[in-house]
Structure 1
């Protein structure tokens, strides 16, 4: 059989299997509205259309998409087996979020294979090679995270899964939502893609910064930059503000978008669009702005934005995106970035939050003790802390090392 016909059959099989799990995602979204599910569904539908229209690199496209059915099945099954209806533990939810980003990248790669212009192909060759590498890495990570081998996809009974999803959906009105809390996260768990529990102990020595941010956010839809060197705790401080009861009470919609994988403002907009559940496209900036403008109140956190802001060739676009976002009056914005410089073109709320400094010696000791509380010899703790310079990330890593190794 000619290779083209074999590829055509393979494409048809991939599309058919993915189409069997799309209704499961829709049932799950309609019943519980968990983060990322709508984005995965919309992206998968669009991806299957792009797969059928590709003109080049068909083998690579098939390799990238042949396991998507199994991964989606695994995600749905995790929700069906969870103790709390319609929710997942934060660590697993992080895996779902990362898969959503990978699925968007796969869609971008496959959609680019529809272009038959050889000149464009030549100039985009390096870009596509880097994107393909990211897709493969992200896909393998998803296969590992959801315990799926690349050779074997899951064989769940689709009809049984769909029946269980509908039954859970039908029982939804009888569920006491006040009891649907995971650890100490609170009701915002159903609105925010929270990637990990942030214990209060992490914020020893950050009370003043947290108080200032909460006051700014509750008094107005503030625009705040959390700055400082790497490992200083910028992300954890942003999450602490997001989780604060006063902030959660004011902002009906909350989005935490990790931007370290983005290299341009268009990719940042794509990540925001994924969290909003928008259908993927070449440039989602207008769709993102329109969607955010329709919300009554919203807090948007762009974490690790330095990836797109530090390079001079992408800085202007990043600042333009921030400027248009801050033009939305009811949108509060927090960005976390390495360094001490605020991006231009944004009316940042004053007074500026000072760049974060290392923890005090006492705060570092408290953090360390909470993580490795069995390690009681203070002289040894002091000796270990000397290696951390009281940097929160270093303290955390050292404490976990002690906890595991003794």
Structure 2
């Protein structure tokens, strides 16, 4: 259960004949330095020295605004709330078995063992005392978030992203401060639904940088999933409770935009400008400076004083504890209907993604350059998922939506997918003739 997509070649398979680990990691470190400086991977270092699973993660980390030179503390729970959440989480049922299978083996080995939830929050971090103290320096502590979009490329965050076991070595980490560590992680799945409920991770030094480390973690995960399956049959497995309710942003449902505060409660209507700022801060969790916000909000930029005033009003409305300054950034992860569309695409719920994205809302109405960029990226993500699927129902839904009605390639793909004499054949051919005339094809 859980191998939803074939994993990219592992580190050891990727080595060229006669090449050793140290040589490859020097190349990876150089590729990382160039990537941070230029935003691209040099043909001389990127494609051959950096595994595709790592390269793709670096791209997502950079696009999401993760700072490669720093680490963000994104733990948004009080300690008491965290303990209540942890103790009621299904991974709590896995914890005793992980202790018995792993912790005695690593107590003096310079490594730590971590269990996370399904969003990358570290529920337990145990193991070698010295290693745990050193892990505190990179905020690898209970309660902290290590999702890829928060901490950049790392094994637990990447395992959640790709839903299979991964091993990450030193310089493959996106954040420089983490590059002294190696880590290996694999996801744990709910025995009933198959959904990912968390990750088991081992982080440390050279002991984690072996070909057998990933196999060891996968074996423990298999044992844990077996134990959870037994508990689910006997009714002893707790169902995942949502963590204390975080903030929620709605911007795709027409021309009204809403913010639901931390802990739930009534939603608050937002001005378009405040909705735009919250979307931008959500897209760049590493933070934005005043000038960056100004250029993302208007083609010719807006006065920095105006930016500061708008964000001051925004902090008054949504809470000063939600938006930090220097740089402007969200102090906690927020959910949004934009994020929901991305999650739908990731798990193959393409029809639902088309329906939610097709409502329009802020992304299609805003003239702000930064929002227009988010819109174009999300539109291309949805469109690519539709075209790649070749599913006639997805193609029908996309071409019926406001964003896909003039997508000539989609109409052609839909026509090609229909058997001769299908009831939709005349509709598709008629629309293709119309679009050909309209675009002079």
Query: Is the TM value for this pair above 0.5?
Result: no
User: Quick one: higher RCO (CA 8 Å, sep 6+), 1 or 2?
Assistant: 1
Whichever structure has more helix as a proportion of its residues is 1
